[in-house]
Structure 1
Amino acid sequence: MNLRSKLFFGITFIAIVSLHGCKKNDPVDMHYDYFPMEQGRYITYSVREINIDDALGLNETLYYYIKTKIGDTITDNEGRVARRYERYFRDSLNQPWVLQDIWSCIITSGKAELVEENQRTIKLVFAPTKYKEWNCNAYNMLKKLDCYYSEIHEPASINGFSFESTVTVDLQDQEDFVDHRRQYESYAKGIGMYHKYYKDFHFSNLDTTNVVKGKELIMRLIDYGTE
């Protein structure tokens, strides 16, 4: 092997080793931006809520709006430095917002947590992989609720907004002649939760058209930004 060949193979070997080293040391994208935590970020939702209770003579459909906003730092119920998660309500678009709740949110140990009504829940687990499972109620006293990623890094759209990358978390999907429970949440990268669906209906006499008690809640993003 002549000097030119030795030099060529030497340079090639160094390049391969260097490239391998760079790939090995590249940081892993955990996709934390599915749950943005920057102060001032907000999302506005249109909400439809149905409540049924035959025993109380209740059968109502409500329409209103919710705005969630990331606030300043706060100490959560675990003594950790988290962020305020502010929830505002109004009945119509021409009414002023009314602050209804101050919860807290945090990303820690590879999990996005939301403390709502003093109940610490795990909303997302990073990095998202399809069918990854976890108990969203692992840190509270509520009934165990296993959830999983049914869709990851998929494009989606809602109310005229298009998102390049979204994930969907399935929390409940059960239907028989007694109950119908369905619950999922969808998150867009750089935005946060853009769609929530919740249904818990109970039927009478094995008739799935005769709902005697239950609730359905649908939240759909109509605006987002930073204030």
Structure 2
Amino acid sequence: MINQSFQETNKFSISSRVQWLIVIACITMVFVACSKTDNYRSDPLSDYMPLQKGKYWIYLLDSTNYYNSQKVQTQYQLKDVVDDTLTDNLSRVAYRLIRYIRPSSSTSDTDWKLMGEYYMVPTKQTLETIDFYNFKYQSLKLPVALNLTWKGNSYLPAFPYSEALPVQSSFNFTVDGGMGDWDYTYTGVGESETINGKNYDNVVTVSQEDASTNLLEDNQTPTNVNDFATRAFSAEKYAKNVGLIYKKLELWEHQPASPTNPDGYYVGFGIQLQLIDHN
């Protein structure tokens, strides 16, 4: 694992929790699997996440953050650039990606502010991602075949967002427990998708989790304000010869009503990434 601490530069007037949402926004997950696929011919993973020096992706990030019983929604642009390669402690080639941020309405290159760096490591069967906090995710898995399933978060701590993060970035919830057991599944292969008004062919969908308790059909509203409710959803889409084009992650709880919060309150976050440009 690469020991790289998050280096914040150019304060951007965003809280540490919002920074964490941005950190995890582009983090991809996946690895380990099981199915009768020994003889299945598959496209290489590099087709779906091309990593070459100078390659970049620009995303529109929409984030929702619940804290102090308040719902805070923000929007930014993120830019990830493949900066260089190096060798990890297992003697594997790792790609270093630099992340930048700017206001969502900006079109000026001078507005990009450095946020930090993370790593991607292609292996024979998987694509690993190592984030700013040394969390390792397993992002894609061979073969790229419909219904292939694997444990994508098997290297994560037991409670990654509530216990393993620095206190100023952590969340006071328990819905992150058991993330290591999430089943990642290719639920779409070779499909067409329209993301932010642009059409993409040969898209692979990785469904990672879709679970809720005590919520109405909208998966947002508790069945009763006195109910403890949870929502955990995660999915990503990759386009061939492009890379990650879409990501959505929701992880939050609704705490029951109390004298100080008669409607109950939410704690947690949600993010959505949509690709808007790449080279």
TM-score, structure 1 as length reference: 0.78
Is the contact between residue 93 and residue 122 of structure 2 (CA under 8 Å) also seen in structure 1? no
Identical columns (%): 27
Is the contact between residue 45 and residue 141 of structure 2 (CA under 8 Å) also seen in structure 1? no
| Counterpart among 179, 191, 213 of residue 154 in structure 1 | 191
What residue number does 1:213 align with?
A: 267
Greater share of strand:
1
Is the contact between residue 45 and residue 127 of structure 2 (CA under 8 Å) also seen in structure 1? no
Indicate whether 1:112 and 2:124 are aligned.
Answer: no
For residues 99 and 53 of structure 2, the distance between their equivalents in structure 1, rounded to whole angstroms, comes to 14
Greater share of helix:
1
What residue number does 2:248 align with?
A: 197
For residues 28 and 212 of structure 1, the distance between their equivalents in structure 2, rounded to whole angstroms, comes to 42
Q: How does 1:76-95 map to 2 (within 5 A)?
A: 76=88, 78-92=90-104, 93=106, 94=108
4+ residue segments displaced more than 6 Å: none
**SS of alignment partner, residue 190 of structure 1:** coil
| Counterpart among 83, 99, 102 of residue 114 in structure 2 | 99
For residues 89 and 98 of structure 2, the distance between their equivalents in structure 1, rounded to whole angstroms, comes to 16
Is the contact between residue 201 and residue 211 of structure 1 (CA under 8 Å) also seen in structure 2? no
42-51 vs 28-37, which deviates more?
Answer: 28-37
- For structure 1, which runs of at least 5 residues remain unmatched after alignment? 1-26
**SS of alignment partner, residue 114 of structure 2:** strand
Q: Which has the larger radius of gyration?
A: 1
The residue type paired with residue 104 of structure 1 is Y
Pair 140,104 (structure 1): closer, same or farther in 2 beyond 3 Å: same
Aligned length, in residue pairs: 195
**SS of alignment partner, residue 277 of structure 2:** strand
CA shift, 1:205, in A, is: 3.7
CA shift, 1:204, in A, is: 3.6
Give the root-mean-square deviation of aligned CA atoms.
2.1
**SS of alignment partner, residue 32 of structure 1:** helix
TM-score, structure 2 as length reference: 0.64
